[in-house]
Chains A and B, each alone.
Chain A
Amino acid sequence: MTQVGTDATNPLTAGWGRALVFAYGVFAVAATGRSLVQLSTDADKAPLAYSLSLFAAVVYLVATTSLLLGGRAGWLAAGIAVAVELLGVLSVGALSYAATDLFPDRTVWSHFGQGYGFLPLVLPFAGLAWLRHTRPR
């Protein structure tokens, strides 16, 4: 098989990495869809929340793509994306509790990803653990 991501030499998508990439892919699609709907229906209602939705979508897309591409560069890019994701979910999660007026509508990361079964909070930790496990030597 020569399909992207089925390359046996890419350790990032082997074993549990495969499940991780699938989860990131689902979130990339979900966050992109959500931000497109939010921005196309009424962008003025909650500009900050909607920009953060779009930002989250980009982060998930970058993480998914770099895991699929693999290699040293892919590993590094995935590491940065997952770290940004962790910072994002922690800060947006805390802010959505502390400053509710900033968030008239929700984002993927609001309330630590409550609307998504808290998976957005678990995913970056799983991602970092996996990247540590597969670090290039």
Chain B
Amino acid sequence: MRFAGGVSRIADWLRQADLGSDNAATRVTRVSPWVLGAVLVLCGVTAVVLVVHLVRDRAAEDGMFVLLGLTELVLLGQLVAGCIALGSTERDVEGTLFVSYLVGTALALPIGAFWSLAERSRAGTAVVLLAVLTVAALEVRLDAIWAGAV
């Protein structure tokens, strides 16, 4: 399965990033830059499309839900890969905090999308936009927590 392959590759990335922490020069380890980059780029693109719709007074359309779905797939992959990476890391990462952020990022978009469905106007578009911005903010925090912040 391509998706499962993707997940294991993400886990590999996370593990590689983690191995780098043994080296003092790369002490500041990050969540896989690929996952972080993918999530932020997807959030950015979706946010721009949503802002355009918001300004033009339109409800969110199918294309946007495809983008949201793609982002959600990456986030679910990150949830699995992040838990695996947490289990195999020897560094001091706040486990509960890290997992709660992983779960939070995965939950924000579905909740926002369903919450917006009952409001098929630009206000509904604003709800989805808020959800996307929440994911971006959580993702940045997630990266910091993985690097050892509390």
Question: Which residues of A are at the interface with B, using a C-beta cutoff of 8 A?
Answer: 1, 5-6, 14-19, 21-23, 26, 29, 33, 37, 41, 116-117
Q: Is the CB of B100 within 8 A of A15?
A: no
The complex places the Cα of A18 from the Cα of B126 at a distance, in Å, of 9
Chain B residues touching A, range: 20 to 34
**Chain B contact residues: over half helix, strand or loop, or mixed?**
helix
Verify B150–A18 contact, CB threshold 8 A: no
CB contacts (< 8 Å) of B118 on chain A: these are 1, 6, 18
Q: Are A22 and B127 in contact (CB under 8 A)?
A: yes
Partner of B104, one of A15, A22, A29: A29
Q: How far is the CB of B18 from chain A (nearest CB, A)?
A: 23
A40 to B90, CA, bound (A): 23
Instruction: For the complex, give the distance between the alpha carbons of A17 and B137 in Å.
Output: 22
Q: Are A18 and B134 in contact (CB under 8 A)?
A: no
Q: Is the CB of B130 within 8 A of A19?
A: yes
Give the 8 A-B CB pairs with smallest separation, nearest first: A19-B126, A18-B119, A16-B123, A6-B118, A22-B127, A15-B123, A19-B127, A19-B123
Rounded to whole angstroms, the CA-CA distance of A22 and B112 in the bound complex is: 8
Name the B residues within 8 Å of A5 (CB-CB): 115
Q: Is the interface of A mostly helix, strand, loop or mixed?
A: helix
Contact A18 B97 (CB under 8 A): no
Complex Cα distance, B118 from A5, in Å, reads: 10
Give Cα A6 to B137, complex, Å.
27
Q: A15-B121, A41-B150 are in contact. Are A22 and B130 (CB under 8 A)?
A: yes
Q: Scoring B residues 82 to 109 as 1 if CB is less than 8 Å from chain A, else 0, what string do you get?
A: 0000000000000011001000100010
State in angstroms the CA–CA spacing of A41 and B97 once bound together: 11
For A5, A18, A33, the residue with the greatest tally of chain B CB atoms inside 10 Å of its CB is A18
Which residues from chain A contact B97 at a C-beta distance below 8 Å?
37
| CA–CA, A18 and B122, complex, Å | 11
Does B71 reach chain A (CB closer than 8 Å)? no
Could you list 9 further interchain pairs (A-B, Cβ under 8 angstroms) beyond the known A17-B123, A22-B115? A6-B118, A14-B119, A18-B115, A18-B116, A18-B119, A18-B123, A18-B127, A22-B131, A33-B104
Task: Give the residues in chain B near A1, CB-CB below 8 Å.
Answer: 118
